[in-house]
A and B are shown apart, each in its own frame.
Chain A
């Protein structure tokens, strides 16, 4: 992996402000370059939306933060990504540790085919040690707390043993967020979390994202500009694998600095 030349000059100052920082990130799928020189700083506790036409690399960017991309096998990366000030592509980085800290929500809700309760506790089972896991009462408390946090408790509290796949899609998506919370992540990556939902479900999940703002750093990919406008505080516009513009959401939609951004926002392409 090629180290970035600028490393060291500004590495220490932003330790406590940036949740995610990419340096000169380039990524190839085989011969196709999906990301070009991406330099990005994502602030802690802020909801940042990544927008852009399909194929612009926004999902790829998201998927390199928790290194879930590597499963594909033919992915090559240069440059670096720091999460909470630590390079995640360094040797000796434990992927389970990284993914515990950086939770991910997928486009299509993917609860496991087990009960609602077990879905919430799944990550604890993965990361907890066998003998010092939480006791029975504590577990029920965690389930309730996490489900309350995602505004799901009231509708499922009487059927915690029901299969998670029986829930409505919006409820499933909320559950997928809830199941990340027991292991206390600090960053949530959301890859078009509402695109499989109906308008009502979308509104519910957006409300939840707004609710989680400040507590978690949220990086959300969306092709829906209205959604980016509604839920995010900062906005990143990507085109053909490059970052075109990164600014406060209100500024980007009111007065985009780049012509390409303006054209996209106004719907001239996309």
Chain B
């Protein structure tokens, strides 16, 4: 009675094939990441030393360390986050909690999604025109970070909006029915429950900000600078640009050097991400602030 028919056998085989296909694709996705990491560690590992991290490049950037670039990237990421997170979260709050659902908000949403698709070199040119020239910030950390912030805003807005939408409507109704204003509802119920999702957006943004080269190359980052930036109106070196320069523009760079820079860049991004993931876990545990 319960013997498999021909049809059952065929279904089972088809099932197996699809499963195998999906599994293969997943492995293929993970494989490049592992290969990249392994290559970086093997080839770049020997370059890593305290001197490499805390000294400035010397001898036409073929020797010495990467300290100014490391500090520069931290500056760029920090200033970009300071600009884009408040702006993006505020915009997302407006769009999901206040704005009525009409054609204007739909156009705004569409514009935000399209902004995410703009190539980074176009953002770079926009940054030159707007921040370097029009606002007169010159090529500086401020101009570069503003450009990076504009570029990553869609990520922050979209992930924030998603996490706001994930807060159950019942919580909001409970608040409203007790006479809470929208801001009280946001402050006491919506934000505390959405904050971990918002941090996910920030994590994505950190990775992208730290790694971008084109936007900062035209707006504030330079090939070589023998001193550290003192403020947001200074120019700076950056890891991503430094990597580009020593692997393509400078002759006679020992092979382990670019790999070392790449390894440091990835490690830094991973550490920043780990920090915000830790923060997220902490906030999730509290759910109240």
Q: CB within 8 Å of B: which residues of A? A: 66, 68, 71, 73, 95-100, 103-104, 106, 108, 110-114, 118, 122-123, 125-127, 176, 179-180, 183
B170 and A126 contacting across the interface, CB-CB below 8 Å? no
Residue of B nearest to A71 (CB): B176
Partner of B179, one of A71, A97, A113, A114: A97
Interchain CB contact under 8 A, A103 and B178: yes
Given A73-B100, A126-B184, do A110 and B178 touch, yes or no (CB 8 Å)?
no
Q: Decide if B10 is an interface residue (CB 8 Å cutoff).
A: no
Contact check, A114 vs B287: say whether CB atoms are below 8 A apart: yes
A126 touches B287 (CB 8 A): no
Query: Is the C-beta of B174 less than 8 angstroms from some C-beta in chain A?
Result: yes
A110 shortest CB reach to chain B, Å: 4
Chain B residues within an 8 Å CB radius of A179: 178
What are the 4 closest A-B residue pairs judged by CB atoms, nearest first?
Answer: A99-B179, A96-B179, A104-B177, A110-B170
Q: Which residues of A contact B174 (CB under 8 A)?
A: 106, 110-112, 176
Q: When chains A and B are docked, how far (Å) is the Cα of A17 from the Cα of B246?
A: 86
Alpha-carbon distance A97/B178, docked complex (angstroms): 9
Cα A104 to Cα B174 in complex, Å, equals: 8
* Interface size band for B: 10 to 19
Contacts of A180 in B (CB 8 A): 178
6 contacts between A and B (CB under 8 A): A71-B176, A99-B178, A106-B174, A110-B170, A126-B184, A180-B178
Q: Which residues of B contact A (CB under 8 A)?
A: 100-101, 170-171, 173-181, 184, 188-189, 193, 287-288
Q: Do B179 and A123 touch (CB < 8 A)?
A: yes
Nearest CB in chain A to that of B167: its residue: A113
- How far is it, in angstroms, between the C-alpha of A126 and the C-alpha of B173 when the chains are bound? 14
With A112-B189, A113-B287, A114-B287 as contacts: A96 and B170 at CB distance below 8 Å: no
A236 CB to closest chain B CB (Å) equals 21
A126 touches B193 (CB 8 A): no
CB of B170 within 8 A of CB of A106, answer yes
B179 touches A95 (CB 8 A): yes
| Bound CA–CA A122/B174 (angstroms) | 10
Q: How far is the CA of A122 from the CA of B177 in the complex (A)?
A: 12
Bound-state CA distance A98–B177 (Å) is 10
B171 x A99 contact (CB < 8 A): no
| B-chain residues with CB within 8 Å of residue A125 when the two chains form the complex | 188
**Given that A110-B171, A113-B171, A113-B287 are known contacts, is A68 also in contact with B178, CB under 8 Å in the complex?**
no
Q: Does A123 lie within 8 Å of B170, measured CB to CB? A: no
Distance A123 CA – B171 CA, assembled complex (angstroms): 14
| Nearest B residue to A107, CB-CB | B170
Beta-carbon contact of A114 and B177 below 8 Å: no
Q: Give every chain B residue within 8 A of A108 (Cβ-Cβ).
A: 170
In angstroms, Cα B288 to Cα A125, docked, is: 14
Instruction: Tell me which of A97, A103, A118 contacts B177 (CB under 8 A).
Output: A103
Which residues on the A side are within 8 Å of B181 (C-beta)?
Answer: 96
Could you tell me if A68 and B177 are in contact, using CB atoms closer than 8 angstroms? Answer: yes
Residues from chain A with a CB closer than 8 A to the CB of B287 are: 113-114
In the assembled complex, which residues on chain A have CB atoms less than 8 Å from the CB atom of B177? 66, 68, 99, 103-104, 106
- Most chain-B Cβ atoms within 10 A of its Cβ — which of A66, A103, A113? A113
Cα distance A12–B178 in the bound complex, in angstroms = 29
Instruction: State how many angstroms separate the Cβ of B62 from the closest Cβ of chain A.
Output: 58
**Nearest chain B CB to A59 CB, angstrom units:** 13
Say yes or no: B173 contacts A110, CB within 8 Å.
yes
**Contact yes or no, B193 A100, CB < 8 A:** no
Please give, as numbers and ranges, the residues of chain A lying within 8 Å of B189 by CB-CB distance. 112
Name A112's contact: one of B171, B176, B184 (CB within 8 Å): B171
Question: Can you name the residue of chain B whose Cβ is closest to the Cβ of A104?
Answer: B177
Q: Give the CA-CA distance A125 to B184 in the complex, in Å.
A: 10
B103 CB to closest chain A CB, in angstroms? 14
Chain B: which residue is nearest A191 at the CB level?
Answer: B177
